[in-house]
Structure 1
Amino acid sequence: MTPRFPFSILACVALTLGSLMGPASAWWDAGHMQIAYVAYKKLDAPIKDKVDVLLRLNPDYQKWTAGIADSKTAKLHAFIHAATWADDIKTKEYNYTRDKVDSPTAGQNIGYSDKNQHAFWHYKDLNWTPDGTPLPPPDAVDLVTQLNLMIAALPASSGASDDVRSYDLVWILHLVGDAHQPLHGSGRYTRQIPDGDAGGNAEQVIRATGELVALHAYWDSVFGGYVSPAGAVFDADARDGLASLAVNEVAAKVADPQKWIDESAELAKQYAYAAPVSLGRNPVLLTRDYETNARNIAHSQAALAAARLANLINNALR
């Protein structure tokens, strides 16, 4: 029998955590920032200058670099901050519209004049079922469709305006990380959750600490929540940190976002939905093995994302 905690007590904990962390988004700030930092270290020196020219067009650039006198540090911090911008625009401060995947503007790529959140750009759910539950058709617009558009527009030779290329760069910094979070590539449909679990958002899990969170949020939180760029650098450079992880060079050269999502979906089936996660919404207490595997997979995926992100930018801006 799977051990359980009283739901009423844990629900209060979950509400508290939800108010602190905000909307679920892959890896949360700490993960995205560490991925960006490790990728930045792999960029060619001339590419770093080209990247900074584009990032200066983002309306938040001055905020990202405020109080930093050293130009090299300012460029690094701007790059790290930019990796969270696609999540930042979901907050009330930006007043961006929460649009829908079937809206006429869902698949547009028009630069900073676009004031839509495009939450559906952050994932591509490869819908599946372990028990024959009917599956809906896939969305027409998703992480892969948009990432392909943005990658094509990023080179100076693309003919896209610098405004669009800057906008696309900050989204690319974020979406490459998203694509490597296993639950950003999976939508599971079961008899208990016939409308789909939205990438693990419908299931509840209990950490060893007793905290109750959505399965998706559990995976997002592996690297922690909010952190400063300096904190992300410190964590990534720490012993056994993200910067120290070896990455298979052949895998790092895989440049097709659809293949990234395919990989993530398989990892979700193998690890994110592994026992003791159930087929329903009932909270389950995670085991030591589950949590250890989740941390290992998250770190290896993030390191791979950083390598692929660096290759993408080096190739596009060379």
Structure 2
Amino acid sequence: MRRVVQIPALALVLALVATEASAWWDAGHMQIAYVAYKKLDAPVKDKVDALLKLNKDYAKWTAGAPDERTAKLYAFVHAATWADDIKTKEYNYTRDKVDSPTAGQNIGYADRNQHAYWHYKDTNFSPDGTPLPQPDPVDLVTQLKLIIAALPSTSGATDDVRSYDLVWMLHLVGDAHQPLHAIRRYTRQIPGGDAGGNAEQVIPANGDTMALHAYWDSLFGGYVSPYGAVFDAEDKDGLAHIAVNETSAQVSDPQAWIDESAELAKQYAYAAPVSVGSNPVLLTREYETNARNIARSQAALGAARLARLLNDALK
């Protein structure tokens, strides 16, 4: 039986009003990172830990670890949440805009911008012919490609930049596999776009009314510690035990990941009873079962692809 995670009231409120800048909540990101870590080559684990030590949060990430080996694991798992952590007041990072001159920069920890638009790429679509806008110039795909290119030691990037890029990669690969991070739906009822399911309201079996996007983010539960993430992922029905198609795991193009996620969103996230408007709809058992299965398979696939990227970049 899966452990129940208690979510602090403030965290729950923030989660329910989350925008497209969050995905899977911390529990999902940590579990994806843990499963990826299990697949890393031993020398690569040492290299990622050396890079993670350059982040000022390293001591916080490793707090409570009983030994050095576990500390490395905890750092990797917790680092996957850093790109969301910097959106809190504690960090005092600037909420910048996608059309800023610095939107697509890759300068390391000197960058004090939140870059919320790095967390997604909108595949704009309309089921009823509503006009679509031009795509954003900077998004998850453009930035993740820069990050992947900079991570190898032969790239010429400084270790500061490579460390910064590593923590972003740990997060963004997970984001790319959340279907509602790959799409924005335009309808006559929501002509300005739904921001990846943030404009539609749903009521799952627990009776809460929440944004469609938040529902999909919540499928792995709320915030957990690295220990909790390992516990959940290693549960008999957990993420660590989901088989992944090896051919799919070899796909390394972030745009291909987004294309896959967008199609899954059309087929499952926007499936009935989700409507084309913003009025709350009661989700069916079939919808929720499909959502959980898609989330789990996507997260497992994301973990396999993340591990492959790191093993290739840092071999």
Instruction: Tell me the TM-score normalized by structure 1.
Output: 0.94
Q: In the alignment, does 2:303 pair up with 1:309?
A: no
Which stretch shifts more, 262-271 or 204-213?
A: 204-213
Q: In structure 1, how many angstroms separate the alpha carbons of the residues matched to 2:107 and 2:125?
A: 33
Q: CA deviation at 1:181?
A: 0.1
Provide the alpha-carbon RMSD of the alignment. 1.3
Match of 1:32 in 2: 29
Distance 1:166 1:202, change over 3 A: same
Match runs of 1:113-124 below 5 Å = 113-124=110-121
Q: From 268, 272, 284, give the equivalent of 1:271.
A: 268
Match runs of 1:63-142 below 5 Å = 63-142=60-139
Match of 2:13 in 1: 18
Q: In structure 1, how many angstroms separate the alpha carbons of the residues matched to 2:66 and 2:300?
A: 30
Q: CA deviation at 1:125?
A: 0.5
Over the matched positions of the two proteins, sequence identity in percent amounts to 79
Q: In structure 2, how many angstroms separate the alpha carbons of the residues matched to 1:39 and 1:16?
A: 26
Q: In structure 1, how many angstroms separate the alpha carbons of the residues matched to 2:15 and 2:243?
A: 33
1:73-117 deviations in Å (ceiling 9; x for gaps): 000000000000000000010000000000011000000000000
Amino acid at match of 1:23: A
Match of 1:189 in 2: 186
Runs of 4+ in 1 over 3 A off after TM superposition: 14-17, 19-24
1:142-178 deviations in Å (ceiling 9; x for gaps): 0000000000000000000000000000000000000
1:8-62 deviations in Å (ceiling 9; x for gaps): xxxxxx9994246673511000000000000000000000000000000011001
Alpha-carbon contact 2:16-2:214 (below 8 Å) kept: no
Specify the SS of the correspondent of 2:210: strand
Alpha-carbon contact 1:55-1:166 (below 8 Å) kept: yes
Q: CA deviation at 1:209?
A: 1.4
Alpha-carbon contact 2:17-2:214 (below 8 Å) kept: no
Match of 1:10 in 2: none
Q: From 217, 223, 231, give the equivalent of 1:234.
A: 231
Q: CA deviation at 1:69?
A: 4.1
Structure 2 gap ranges (5+): 1-8
Amino acid at match of 2:303: A
Q: CA deviation at 1:66?
A: 2.2
Q: In the alignment, does 2:244 pair up with 1:247?
A: yes
Q: From 48, 55, 72, give the equivalent of 1:58.
A: 55
Q: CA deviation at 1:240?
A: 1.4
Alpha-carbon contact 2:16-2:211 (below 8 Å) kept: no
Specify the SS of the correspondent of 1:57: coil
Alpha-carbon contact 1:21-1:225 (below 8 Å) kept: no
Specify the SS of the correspondent of 1:37: helix
Q: In structure 1, how many angstroms separate the alpha carbons of the residues matched to 2:197 and 2:15?
A: 20
